[in-house]
């Protein structure tokens, strides 16, 4: 598994498009939102933090994971790996470990910078739980999307619905809060995790109520993984 992860890490640094998608675009968008935070009054600090988290886990993790899996399927690397002694879980873990580690590290850096230039989160541990829940959810959605993605080029199209949808939900909850239409916002992918990040950063919400927001996010993980089991393919579609 570690050998697979090491090989993927080398491929990431060799592929300029992947580097731009995974590192440059989320970092640039994060810098833009930090710039706006002091200049637009209605931008809540917790909402900005949530939007930054989802910029990284969608643009940096989700799209890169889908592209990686589609590429490895197309060149028959997935098929060759499956003929080894490694089970499916270890193969996928090895393939996705580098991009996941990059996304987590980048999220940590972005949120640390935000806490320094603005204000630190009220509940850091709850913020960590929210970020990890968002990461796991996006990995599950990436596996499901990769199942219907024929090639790396096709990934530019298949990732758009989830990418735009999750970012839109994150922005909607982050900008407007969850006071209105709370059940709908929490049921949408990313909505509950966004509210959890906002609550962790700003405080003021009872801890028990905050932890309940993990349930919708984990439910999306279950849905995504179940869908991935049905549609994921180890060989190119004919």
Residue 155 in any domain: the answer is yes
Residue 207 in any domain: the answer is yes
Q: Check residues 22 and 139 and name the one with the higher pLDDT.
A: 139
Residue 112 in any domain: the answer is yes
Q: Cα torsion at 51, 19, 152, 75 (round to 10°)? A: -140
Residue 236 in any domain: the answer is no
Least confident of 126-130, 178-182, 234-238: 234-238
Question: Does the structure show a pLDDT above 70 at 96?
Answer: yes
Token representation of residue 223 = 């849905």
Question: Does the structure show a pLDDT above 80 at 52?
Answer: yes
Closest CA to 152 of 35, 69, 54, 42: 69
Q: Cα torsion at 25, 31, 33, 38 (round to 10°)? A: -170
Write down the pLDDT at residue 8.
Answer: 66
Domain count, the chain: 1
Q: Give pTM, 2 decimals.
A: 0.87
Q: Check residues 6 and 103 and name the one with the higher pLDDT.
A: 103
Please state the rounded mean pLDDT for residues 13-29: 63
Please state the rounded mean pLDDT for residues 189-205: 86
**Distances 88 to 69, 80, 81, 82, 230 between C-alpha atoms, Å:** 13, 12, 9, 7, 14
- CA 231 to chain CA mean position, Å: 20
Least confident of 56-60, 114-118, 128-132, 162-166: 114-118
Residue 141 in any domain: the answer is yes
The answer to whether residues 185 and 172 touch, using CB atoms and an 8 Å cutoff, is: yes
- CA separation for the pair 103, 53 (Å, rounded): 9
Residue 238 in any domain: the answer is no
* Domain assignment of residue 181, given as a range: 2-231
Write down the pLDDT at residue 168.
Answer: 93
């Amino acid at each position: 598994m570690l050998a697979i992860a090491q090989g993927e890490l080398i491929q990431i640094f060799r592929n300029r498009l992947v580097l731009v998608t995974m590192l440059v675009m989320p970092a640039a968008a994060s810098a833009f939102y930090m710039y706006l935070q002091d200049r637009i009054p209605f931008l809540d600090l917790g909402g900005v933090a949530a939007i930054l988290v989802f910029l990284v886990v969608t643009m940096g993790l989700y799209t890169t994971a889908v592209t990686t899996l589609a590429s490895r399927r197309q060149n028959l690397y997935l098929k060759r790996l499956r003929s080894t002694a490694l089970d499916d879980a270890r193969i996928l873990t090895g393939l996705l470990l580098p991009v996941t580690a990059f996304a987590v590290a980048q999220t940590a850096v972005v949120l640390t910078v935000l806490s320094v230039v603005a204000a630190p989160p009220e509940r850091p541990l709850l913020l960590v739980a929210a970020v990890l829940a968002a990461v796991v959810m996006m990995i599950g959605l990436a596996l499901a999307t990769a199942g219907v993605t024929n090639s790396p080029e096709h990934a530019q199209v298949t990732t758009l619905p989830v990418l735009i949808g999750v970012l839109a939900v994150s922005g909607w909850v982050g900008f407007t809060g969850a006071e209105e239409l709370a059940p709908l916002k929490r049921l949408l992918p990313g909505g509950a995790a966004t509210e959890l990040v906002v609550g962790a950063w700003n405080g003021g919400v009872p801890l028990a109520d905050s932890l309940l927001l993990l349930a919708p996010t984990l439910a999306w993980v279950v849905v995504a993984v179940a869908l991935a089991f049905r549609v994921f393919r180890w060989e190119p579609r004919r």
